[in-house]
Structure 1
Amino acid sequence: MHRDDAVSRRGRAEARFTELMVEVGPELLNYFERRIGDGGEDLLSELMATAWRRNADLPMDHEQARMWLFGIARNLLRNGVRSNLRRSRLENALRDAIPANGSDVAEQLAIRDAVQRLDPILAEIVTLVHWEGLTIAEAGRLQGVPASTARGRYQRAREALREALTVQRSPA
């Protein structure tokens, strides 16, 4: 009997979640598309996955549940903006370190080459932060180290990249 109750509760939770997403999903898609244009479907999929993982937190009140979903949507957009800002800052910093007469392809190759020549632990933190959009603390958690260690690694990686890219642009 206990197992049947759990299955029944899970079925009701799935049905409630599905019903809510069918109703609110189009609103959320419009919310994303008004703010970013293309790519709203991807964000909606990410929102649905996040909301499903946190289904136990879904408020029982319908309007509160709707607003909870919009809160997740807002956080996804903010995280995307932060990731794009970090990526843009790195690209600008690295572009400043590369000769102005180099093409975009040459710049990209120089940057990738410099990152690949880093110690693997330092290369990983750079790619996690700038190419995957994680914060330094998140990258540290993924590497299994405290945020302070991750910050130190990131600083060493930046210094090594700056030096490598400066040496590449110096006349031989």
Structure 2
Amino acid sequence: MRVAEAPQRLTMARLHDEHAQPVLHFLLALFDGDRFEAEDLLQETMLRAWRRLDFLPADHQELRRWLLAAARQSAAATCRRRQSWPQEVPLDYVPVRATGDEPEESVLTALVVRKALDGLTKEQRSTMEDLYVHGCSLRQAAAFHGIPVGTVKARAHYAVQALKRAVV
């Protein structure tokens, strides 16, 4: 270890001792108690702090805010990565096809659904995709968009209502 690295290691150790638990609790809340995911993101957050050690705020509260913001950004990036991965399907899965459906009926249904989705606001559509297509939890969707969980619930509720009106 070089002499110049010793103060950085002490600073980082102190930073970790003071802030790791609150950041971990924040991440656990975002990922519905998934400890492995939360610990992985905590490690990523601390690595970001290590890389920017010379530029971190000196004030304790400002540093905590910086760490929580970095953790939220890492969580959002994780959500985005998950969305880009193809959904895993067991090898023994065989899709069941409905019998008796005419191809015209399937096309018509797809057109009705597409038109209904086009009627949603950008925020509603994005929320529905996060929740129902990508499988994010309410907390994960909220963290991804940087909004409260209640706002995600409201957007989903109004989107479902709009889809019902459009389809019926």
Higher RCO (CA 8 Å, separation ≥ 6 residues): 2
Q: With the length of structure 1 as denominator, give the TM-score of the two structures.
A: 0.45
Structure holding more helix per residue: 1
